[in-house]
Structure 1
Amino acid sequence: MTERAINFGAGPSALPDSVLEEAARGLVNFQGTGIGIAEISHRSKEFTAFVSNLESLIRTQLDVPPTHKILFTQGGGTGQFSAVVLNMLARHRLLHPNLTDEERFMDYVVTGSWSKKAAAEARRLGGGKVNIVAESSHSIPSHDSFKFSSDPALIYYCENETVDGVQFSHEPSSPASFPFHLLPQNTLLPLVADYSSSFMSRKIPRLADHAIIFAGAQKNIGPSGLTIIIVREDCLVDVDAAAKLGAVPVPITMAYKTLADSSSLYNTPSTLPMYMAGLVLERSQELGGVQYFEELNKRKADKVYSVLKEGEAKGIFHGKVKEGSGSWMNITFGVLGEGAEAKFLAGAESRGMKALKGHRSVGGIRVSLYNAITEEQTDQLVAYMREFITENAS
C-alpha cells in the first residue's frame, strides 16, 4: 500500500489500513466462495451467516439487551430523521387512537445542526406537533432548561453533533449529561438517539432505556451506505394498522417491523458496506471492544483539547464549544488572525494531515478523532499545533 495521508475528515472518515486491505481481497473472493462481496447473493448462506455475525458483534460489544433488535438498512442518519417520526407516530397512534395531531407531541432536544435538521423534518412530515425541549448553541443545555411533554410520541436527541463539536457527557454527574432523571420513570420511554458520529466509540449510557438508537456507518464503522438501528421490540409496530386509524402511511422499507421480520434482508442490502463494517467490528473485538476505544479516544481528545488551551492562552486558537460540552469525536476551533486559518491548513497539508477544514456552514477547523485515528497520528497533529503556536505567538 502506498503512503497514505492522515485523514481527519468528519465522514466518510478514515478506516483502518488492515480492514481496507482485507476488504480489497473480499472484493475479489468473499470467504473462499470465488465470488466477490459486491457480487454475491444477499440470500446466500455465506452472506446471511455474515449478517448474523455482524449483529452479534454489535450486541456483544455494546451489551444490547434481548429486548432490542439490531437492524441494517440504507439512507443514513438523515433517512432515519424521517423513519423515526413515521414509526413512532404509528406506535403512538395505536396507543392513543383518539388524539388529534394537535394533541400529539414529538419532543426534540436541539444542540446543533443535525438535531435542528431532524426537528425540521418532523415538522415537515406532520402528524404531530414538534416541541423543542431545550435548545442551545455551542454547549449542552442546562438540565433546568429541559421541558419534556407529558406523553410524547418520541423524545429525540443527537448524542454528538458532528458539525458543531458538541457532545453529551456519558458521566451521569456531569451537567452536560443527558437528563435521564427528568424523564418519566417506570415506563417504556419513547427515547430516540442519533449516535451516527460516536457509535462504538464508547459505551452508550442507559442503552436499554432507549426505544431507538441509530447510526450512519461512515464515521466509526465503515463506508457510507449502511445505517445501523437498535430498536426496542415494542416499537416494531403494525404500521398498516396504524394507518387505518389515521397515521401517515409508512413506506414498506422504512417500517422497522418489515426490517425485523426479514432479518434486514427484505430487499438487497448494502453488502459491501456491511462486509467492511463486519471487518471493523471484528478488529474492534480483538482489540478489546468499546472499552478499549473509550480509553483510547479519551486520551486522544484530552491531548488535542490540552494543546487547544495552550493556543487559546497565546491568542492563536479559539475554541468554539463551552468546556465540558466538547466532543471527543469532532473538536472544533478557530485560528485567529487574518489568513491564519489558511496558513494552518496549508501547514497541516504539507505534513500529510488532511480534511481539517470545518464544515462549510460554520468554517474554522474540525479535528475528527474517530476510532481509526491512532494515538500516534493524534500526537503528530498535537506536535504540529504546538509548533504553529510557537511560530505565531507574538
Structure 2
Amino acid sequence: MTDARSVNFGAGPSALPDSVLQEACKGLLNFKGTGIGVAEISHRSKEFTSLVAELENNIRTQLDVPPTHKIIFTQGGGTGQFSAVVLNMLARHRLLHPDLSDEQRVMDYVITGSWSKKALEEAKRLGGASVHVAVDAREYSKDSRSFDGIPAHEHFDFSADPALIYYCENETVDGVQFSNDGQSPASFPFHLLPPGSSGLWPLVADYSSSFMSRKIPRLADHAVIYAGAQKNIGPAGLTILIVRQDCIVDVDAAAKLGAVPVPITLSYKAIADASSLYNTPSTLPMYIASLVLERSRNLGGTEYFESLNRKKAQKVYSMLKEGEAKGVYRPKVREGSGSWMNVVFDVLGDNAEAKFLAGAEAKGMTALKGHRSVGGIRISLYNAITEEQTDKLVAYMKEFISQNA
C-alpha cells in the first residue's frame, strides 16, 4: 500500500482539497479548542451552532443569496429532496388553492438526464397531483432514447399554474448541463415560465453536482435550490437547501385541508424554525463543508472557481475533440450542452476502454469509469480538482490518442 494520494476524478463522493483534509484531522481530535472532536461534540453547543452560522454566511455571501431566501441544512441527499420538494410544494399549493382536487393540481418536470428522470418517478409515486413532463430531452436526441443535450427552448411546454417546476441543472450521469449564459440555446428558458397565480415561480432546481462551481443564474427567482454536498462541498451526508420564505409553509395546516402529511424531518418549516438543528445534523460533513467554503472564500469565491472550472473544462473538451477527429474518442453529449463538471465519452476500439482506464490508473488517476447505466468514461472536474491535475489527465488523453489513432 502506498502513501501517495491518487488524483480522484470520481463523480461522488469526490475529491476534497488536501489542505481541508489536513485541517479536518485536527478538528476530529480537538474542535475549536474544546478538547473534544467535532464528531463527538454536542450539536447544541455554542461552538457548533457558531459553525452552522459561519457555514450559512459563507454560502449566502459567495452566492449572493437574497434575504428572501433561507439557507437550511438537512440529510438524505438529492434523492431525499425528490420527495421533500414534492411534499412541501404541494402543501404550499394546497394552502394557496384549497378547493382544487388532486387531479386539478399539476407538477411540471424537465427531463434532461437520469437524475431528473428519477425525480419524476418519485413525484409520480407520491401522488397528490398530476405530473406533466414539460420536456423530455430523449425525444430530441440523435437516437430518440439517450440524454445527449438540452432541448431547444421551443420544445418546452410549461403548465399555467403548477405546484412546482423541477429541473436538474447538471446531470452527473449523462454529462448534460444547462448553460449559465442566458443567450445560449442550452440555457434554462426562464422567459417561458408561467407567471402563476401567486406571481412567484415555483421553480425547483437540483444543483447537487455543480453547487458552488459557478454563479447560479437568477437565483432569486427560484423557490428551492438544493444540493447534496458530496461533489464540491464535503463528504456525503449533508444536503444544502436555499428556500424562498413563501415556500416554508405550515405543512400541518395544509394536511388539514387534504394535503399529503409531511414527515417532520422533511418539513422545511420544522428544519428552518430550528435553525437546521431540529434533530442531530451531519456534524462532521458540516464541519468539513465549512472548511471547504472558507477556503473558497479566501481564493475568491464562485468567481474564482467559475474561471478555473471553465479553463479545466475547455482543456478536456478540446482534447476530446482532437481524439474524436482521429477516431479514438466519441463524445456522448452534443456540443454546447456538455457539463463543466462531468465530461462523458466513449473510447473506441476493442478493449480500448479497459486499456484507457488501466493506463490512467498506472499514472495515479482513478475513478474515471462511467456510470454503470451508460458506461464509457466520465471525468469529474469538481472544484477540488486543480488545473495541474487536469493538465496531467489531458496529457494522458493526448498520449493515448497518439498510441491508438
The TM-score bracket by the shorter chain reads over 0.9
Aligned match of 2:256 in 214, 223, 244? 244
Partner of 2:79: 78
Shift of 1:250: 0.1
Give the counterpart of 1:372 among 372, 384, 387.
384
1:278 aligns with 2:279: no
The aligned amino acid for 1:161 is E
Query: 1:168 — aligned with what?
Result: 178
3-state DSSP class of the match of 2:280?
Answer: coil
| 1:185, distance to aligned residue in structure 2 (A) | 4.3
Q: Deviations over 1:1-38 (max 9, x none)?
A: 93200000000000000000000110000011000000
The offset of 1:184, in angstroms, is 2.6
Tell me the percent identity: 77
The equivalent residue for 2:311 is 299
- The residue aligned with 2:144 is none
Partners of 2:213 and 2:309 within 8 A in 1: yes
Gaps of 5+ in 1: none
Two-structure CA RMSD over aligned residues (Å): 0.8
Residue 277 of structure 1: how far off its partner (Å): 0.1
Q: Distance in 1 between matches of 2:165 and 2:26?
A: 43
CA–CA distance in structure 2, aligned partners of residues 138 and 36 of structure 1? 46
Q: Which residue of 2 aligns with 1:308?
A: 320
User: Residues 165-185 of structure 1, C-alpha deviation per residue, up to 9 Å, x if partnerless?
Assistant: 000000000000000000134
1:143-172: CA deviation from partner (whole Å, max 9, x where unpaired): 000000000000000000000000000000
- Taking the aligned partners of 2:168 and 2:16, their CA distance within structure 1 comes to 23
Pairs within 5 Å for 1:1-394: 2-136=3-137, 137-185=147-195, 187-393=199-405
Provide the aligned length of Structure 1 versus Structure 2: 393
CA–CA distance in structure 1, aligned partners of residues 151 and 72 of structure 2: 31
TM-score after normalising by structure 2 = 0.96
After superposition, the C-alpha distances for 1:89-145 in whole angstroms (9 at most, x for unaligned) are: 000000011111111000000000000000000000000011000011210011000
> Residue by residue, what CA displacement relative to the aligned partner does 1:318-338 show, whole Å, maximum 9, x if unpaired?
000010000000000000011
- Amino acid across the alignment from 2:160: S
Q: Distance in 2 between matches of 1:158 and 1:138?
A: 14
Structure 1 runs (4+) deviating above 4 angstroms are none
Give secondary structure in 1 for the equivalent of 2:308.
helix
CA distance in 2, matches of 1:199, 1:281: 11
Which ranges of structure 2 fall in alignment gaps of 5 or more residues? 138-146
AA of the residue aligned to 1:70 = I
Letter of the structure 2 residue corresponding to residue 125 of structure 1: L
Letter in 2 for 1:126: G
Contact in 1 for aligned 2:170/2:207 (Cα 8 Å): yes
Displacement of 1:389? 0.2
